[in-house]
Structure 1
Amino acid sequence: MWRRLGRLSVIALAVAGADQLLKAVMVPWLQDGPVTLVPGFARLVLAYNTGAAFSSFAGVTGARWALVGATLVALTVAVWAAAGPLGRHRGTLWSLALICGGALGNLIDRLRLGSVVDFVDLYAGNWHWPVFNLADTAITVGGVYLAWTLIRGKA
């Protein structure tokens, strides 16, 4: 169990560290405005999300601390799952580690800044996917892979 938790911690801290490093580079670089990566599809733009996923709860009084609490609960559940039978499977452990790393990356922003730094903007015409960051990507990939392994009965 301790070896699994150590592995989870290393992966999660690496993801959170990469997320924070990337944000530290993007914030000053994007201060002057968006940078187009693929015209008509992808650009980098500086955005501060005070809410949760897709900016839900943005502007709600007390949302910051409610989201901090929810993140701490989610991290506790993920560590508990990794310590138990689910953590014995490599794919499940990686999924939980990605989720934890992304949650930590966004938690650091929320505690430090009061909002989460986002910068990847995918769009087609006037339709825009909500702006996101590396932490959000890690949470999504980890969550999808965790669901896939659980549905397939491989966890």
Structure 2
Amino acid sequence: MMFGFAASILFVDQSTKALVRHHLALHESISIIPDFLDFRYVQNTGAAFGILNNADIPFKPALMTAVALFALIALVLYTSRLSSEKPLAKIGLTAIIGGACGNLADRISTGYVVDFIDVYWGTWHFWAFNVADASITVGAGCLILDMALLNKHVSETT
């Protein structure tokens, strides 16, 4: 079941990125919700939130891919060993794995990640992101919630 969830995230992520590449030129945008949400085609060669995007690091595409692959392998191994008594943590980790697979597929095939969801308010802009990034963020939220519930349970029993 968890494999299917991760595969679904990968499918939706790659499908939306293919639509963006097909319908938008690089840096072109279309307004979805005026003054709040655009779809804007951006190529991110760095890490999350554009970190290292403009860094001139030798072998940056290979380095970014290797780091992502190592993290993905570690997450899969950890998730496979996680107790079934921790469903929220398993869901969160699986969402992270699905998102990581989506961004890794981009890095391997093109050397960059396609970002396109552009949220803004007035002059404030959040970093452009994609379905994989959103999945990773929701997964991290599930892990934080799982830890908070665990801490609450531990404090109630002591």
Normalised to the residue count of structure 1, the TM-score between the two structures is: 0.88
* Counterpart for residue 70 of structure 1: 67
* Counterpart for residue 112 of structure 2: 115
- Residue 52 of structure 2 aligns to a residue whose secondary structure is coil
* Counterpart for residue 60 of structure 1: 56
Q: Is the 8 A contact 2:10 2:102 kept in 1?
A: yes
Aligned match for 1:15, one of 9, 12, 19: 9
Tell me which stretches of 4 or more aligned residues in structure 1 moved more than 3 Å: 85-88
User: 2 CA distance for matches of 1:87 and 1:116?
Assistant: 33
Question: C-alpha displacement at 1:80, in angstroms?
Answer: 2.1
Q: 1:87 to 1:102 in 2, by over 3 A?
A: farther
Larger Rg: 2
1:8-28 Cα distance to aligned partner (Å, 9 max, x none): 322111111110011111112
After superposing the two structures, state which structure 1 stretch, 106-115 or 82-91, moved more: 82-91
Q: Is the 8 A contact 1:57 1:63 kept in 2?
A: no
After superposing the two structures, state which structure 1 stretch, 69-78 or 81-90, moved more: 81-90
* Counterpart for residue 3 of structure 1: none
2:36 corresponds to 1:41: yes
2:123 corresponds to 1:126: yes
User: 1 CA distance for matches of 2:84 and 2:19?
Assistant: 34
Of all paired residues, the percent bearing the same amino acid is: 32
Q: Is the 8 A contact 2:82 2:90 kept in 1?
A: no
What RMSD, in angstroms, separates the aligned Cα atoms of the two structures? 1.9
Question: C-alpha displacement at 1:83, in angstroms?
Answer: 2.0
State the aligned residue count: 149
Q: 1:71 to 1:86 in 2, by over 3 A?
A: farther
Normalised to the residue count of structure 2, the TM-score between the two structures is: 0.86
Question: C-alpha displacement at 1:77, in angstroms?
Answer: 2.1
Aligned match for 1:100, one of 94, 97, 100: 97
Structure 2 unmatched ranges of 5 or more: 154-158
Q: Is the 8 A contact 2:6 2:99 kept in 1?
A: yes
User: 2 CA distance for matches of 1:13 and 1:60?
Assistant: 33
Question: C-alpha displacement at 1:87, in angstroms?
Answer: 4.9
Question: C-alpha displacement at 1:88, in angstroms?
Answer: 3.9
Structure 1 unmatched ranges of 5 or more: 1-6
